[in-house]
Structure 1
Amino acid sequence: MHGPAAADPPTASLGAGRRLLAAVAVVCLVLGSAGGLLAVSTWRADRAAAVEQVRLRCQTVAANVYGSRIALVRLLAAVATGQVFVDADRAAVQRRLALLKVDDLGLTGGVAWLDPAGVTRVATRGAVDVPAGGTWWREVVDGAEWTTSAALTAPAFTGEVMVFAVPTHGPDGRVNGVLAGGWSVSWVRERAAIQAAQIGPEFYGPGTDLLVVDRAGQLIVGPDVTATRDVRATDAYRRLTGGGPEFASGAGRVSRGLTGRPDRITGWSRIGRFGEYVLLERSAPEAFHPARHRLAGWLGGIVLLVSLALVSGGLAARRIDRLTAERDRLHQAEHDAVVDLQRWLLTEDLPAGTVGRYLPAPSVLNAGGDWYDVIALGDGRHALLVGDVVGHGVKAALAMGQLRTAARALAARVAGPAALLTELDSYVAALPDVVFCTAACVVVDPSAGTLRYALAGHPPPLLRRTDGTVDRLAVTGRPLGVTGRPRTEQQLATAPGDLLVLYTDGLVEAPGEVIDAGIDRLAAAVAADGAGGDGWTGQLITAARRGRPAGDDIALLCFRLPAAPVTQRRKVRPSIDG
């Protein structure tokens, strides 16, 4: 009899092990694939963020560049409405143009007036009774609208210039001539170099170049650019020409930039009426270095995830948290960069004893519309201005820059605060996308011991007397750009040592209360201590806000009346919290 047959070796353990190995392999494959896709997606997002960063910074810089150009056009348009142009009196036009401070405006090429046939009839620095050259003037005559030209040399102006031109009209309303200013190209380069030095690589990015291309495709501003250079044949320029007619911007990677440097990221912005481009060019390898570094970290993480499958979920979650934190830091860095630009826009020579502060609203990529300025009028007199363009971002900064530039150009040519605000009405009414704008203007005359003031829908400035009493400089006034009755102004007697405090509504407004309550708090703080100084302005802000964070931009200007006309000025950088 045979015993029982020998049983086959058990196979259950071998099958379970394979299944477990297969399950682990599947899990590792899924996790590895997901991690790889997430790594590649993050790498691409980081590279796209680097390109977008160049575009956003270029757009912010362009707001300042185009702001000065639009302000110049508005100024020429205001001059062109004079009766001397309606009468077409050459001698009177010559005298009128001679009064313009062309060098201060960059019009070092001179100002000229042409007849409808393009013949120069009056020129401050160029030839007269000769054809102007080019076709830029015909655009003004045919379209009855302002225009600008590419960089050119014309008999009506001296040197290489960019022409800003507006139409003039006769008694019948028809175009009877063209008023044009020659903006020196060398002056444009000098201003761009000053801006690049002031703002620095902290805003632009290390190794980033600021460029300007005119409407004819000529590079007029750039590193080591001393003469115009045709860049129409470059790949970088061809990328620019697809923008629309209005404000447009973009960014992308090109194999070779406008200056000939290889592998660049080019960000650009333009306004169609000007036809020129403002660009920032940055080295692509340098801009993408953080993305490559992050990708290497991701690949190392994938190896770790495959080796440690049981903890891969936790590692991925922590990685995502770190990415979120990095994104937040990037947005904060962008916010800080725009605040730095606002600081440079507000940096001016303030008189001794004067303090200006600007606090931006707590929003990402903010470029607010609040501003202040102190303008010397001669004989110790100064015009103090504080204004508020409602809104935030690039459009508000653009409008603010135009309004501030216009005020500086007009302050010395008008009779007083009410006249200055009346002149600014036409500027504000013509600004696109500006819904609401307020301003306060005070002209102080220490020699006469008086001040005059006018408001355009703005909170009243405060005047602290030397005995501690505080007067509110309140007068009825509509916002800028709103038509109505003539503006009025008031006059007060002052004494040496009196302190003027001008501010925007962000300092005194709070949810759930009327604005007068905030003004009362500010007035009490000014009355309590009139010491002045940077620390004192911080105390004013804390008292007015009751220690609560502001929900809007804040501009604050403190000016102490001197005993004699002020002649010595010092460079002051406004304090900005943000």
Structure 2
Amino acid sequence: MDRDTSSRRPASSGAPPVDIGYIDLLRGIVEGAAVGFAVLDTDLRYVYVNPHMARMTGLPAAAYLGHTLHEVLPHIQRPEAVLRDVLHDGRPRETIVSGRTWVDSPYQVREWRCVYHRMVDSSGKVVGVAGVGLEISEPQQYLYELERAHRRLALLDSAASRIGTGTDVAGTCRELAEFVVPELADAAGVELVPADTASGRRAPVRLSAYATRPDLVTGLAALDARGELVGWPRGIGARRGLAAGRVLRRNAITAAQWRALIPSWPPARACLTAGVHSVLLAPLASDGRYLGSLQLARAGDSAPFSNEDATVARELAARAARALDRAVRFEREHTMALELQRALLAEPGRLRQHGGVETTARYRPADDESLIGGDWYDVLALPDGRTMLVIGDVMGHGVEAAVAMSHYRSTLRALARAGLSPRRILEHADRMVSDSGFERVATCFLALGDADVATLTYASAGHLPPVWLAPEGGIELVPVPVGPPLGSGLGRYEQRVTPERGGVLLLYTDGLVERRGEDIDRGLARLTSLTLSPGDPLDKIVDTVLDHLAVGSEDDIALLAARAVKRR
């Protein structure tokens, strides 16, 4: 009995017949599969896509026919080189295709694992490429999230070692701005509220630091307004929200919106010129005090700020604020210490004559201005006509050292006016400081000049010996018995009395001669080898000493020069 031929389609000459039932079966599998399937001709133009591919890309199948991948899906990376290799040698290839389609997706980046095969007809002619793509966005998204979480942790960990490495406010702001670029933003600024208006409400702020990606320096240069007052206008800045600890995020800011702000907010023109489309502001607050804000901007092709970016920026700002608060407090204390020290040393620094003694002095802070110490000098004209010269150095730095210096200075002045000898002054001062529980010890040197009997009486509490510049020009150290520092409670001191022989007496603190890693004797040798003229003005002598010896000093220097004035 003849078979029914209605299910058969005529085949090409020489080719076996094809069962139409199998073709329909295969078509049903392809069109019902949950994978993308496409056929492209040798020019890499679509001739077929299955329904699943149409659904996952957001385009009907008809929109593909006769077009290339780039024409229908411009945001997908084109694997043209892979497809042409398949056409050329016939070897199947597997590749990862990623990008964005016309369908909204919960994934940051969509990815497909695709396999391509060459297609030939019955005569062996190459007619195109068939591709099958399985979306792997979900597992890849999980991996991306793990990687982002790792990067966030690494970023926050490194912030501790890269932000707040110094003690100055400007340096801390600069480190913060440079740290977030380009990891979080194309450009970043740090705004600070003046310390006396740190409530954050209606307070003027200044841009203290700015950073931008190297390739965008020119385009974003107009945003750099360091030192200038900044004020976000109502409706976009929400300064009160920042002061309350909230993060401000604005994405997709249009050119029209920037133009609307230009009359009320001058930086808007810079944002418009730079193509800024997204901003994120995170508060800098520590112990309930609003210090300012971290300003982030993205421009051009950069992605808008995400919730994750806001979280990272908030944490970075919180960590930086603690370092910034420390720097603010340190600078405030540093300023107080410097003002106190300068106020106490200002008067003796001028050339003066006390009875029969002419004096001048200098104070030079360390090269590192954060190390405000307790070096001091004093010249005291006593009621009985004698003159007391004092040089001292309180251990440590900062406000505490400056306050301690003031305390020692006042104590020594009171004891000197009581008519005590230098060694008795040191004994009483040591006992008084020790009994008071004052923890800052100090070295000190006293020289008491008595013009009536032409003598000098010396006593030392752990201090370096003075230098005597003889009338004939020689320089030598004055040997003086050295007792313990003041405040140790060990107070037994000796004194030495010498005739006043003319010349110049130089008293100094250890910053003049002491250098790290070097024996103190080398520094003293440099001092005594100087060529100085005892007949020069005292101002010239002390300036010459500092010019030769102060370079490279890591500590404060106090220098006091005295010379007896001949009576007429």
TM range (shorter): 0.3 to 0.5
- When you count helix as a share of all residues, which structure comes out higher? 1
Rg (Cα) greater in structure: 2
